[in-house]
Amino acid sequence: QPFRASVLYAVMPRLMQLLPKLILLLVCLLMVAAVSAEQTIEVEIVGIEGPELDNVRAFLSIAQLRPKKDLLTQLTTLQQTGESRPVTERMLRRLHKKAPQEIREALQSYGYYQPKIESTLEQTEQGWLARYQVEPGPPVLLQQVNIELQGEGRDESGLQSVLAAAGLSAGQ
């Protein structure tokens, strides 16, 4: 018993010296979390609409960032992956940097293979604004369509009906 008490008496003054610093650190961390919780991430895509715009939004990693409530603070998290870690400025800039490639890939399924994309990322009073100006360019059109089924199933009515329903024709 005497040994434990002497160790406690020896450590206690040092703990008392560190306590104000620990409290200050905790307050600073809570303030930083509260500031980041108030910031929003807005994504603006101009120059395309309809299904092309919907597909681009679905492909854009930066567009998947959404606020999520936590017990202590509101943190911006990656909704797509289900991660609940705060989004840092570095992560936001990385996602913004890869956005033009994601936009290109999203437009390819609609026949646009040479889009021109201008992107900006700016910090506003409310948070961040990622803006993408997209000129999809001319679509690639089919000049000729010739689809042949080969193998044992080529005469199956189910496969024939799927082929007919595809509706691919020259000029699309």
Burial of 133 by CB count in 10 Å (0-12 exposed, 13-18 middle, 19+ buried)? middle
pLDDT tens digits, one per residue of 81-90: 455 556 778 8
- Provide the token pair at 24: 């200050």
Residue 136 has pLDDT above 80, yes or no: yes
Going by the DSSP 8-state scheme, the letter that residue 20 receives in this structure is: H
Residue 80 has pLDDT above 60, yes or no: no
Give the span between the Cα atoms of 48 and 82, in whole angstroms.
Answer: 28
For the full predicted model, state whether its pTM sits above 0.75.
no
| Confidence band, pLDDT 50/70/90 cuts, at residue 153 | confident
| Confidence band, pLDDT 50/70/90 cuts, at residue 104 | very high
**8 Å CB contact between 159 and 136:** no
pLDDT tens digits, one per residue of 15-50: 677 777 778 777 666 555 443 445 688 999 999 999
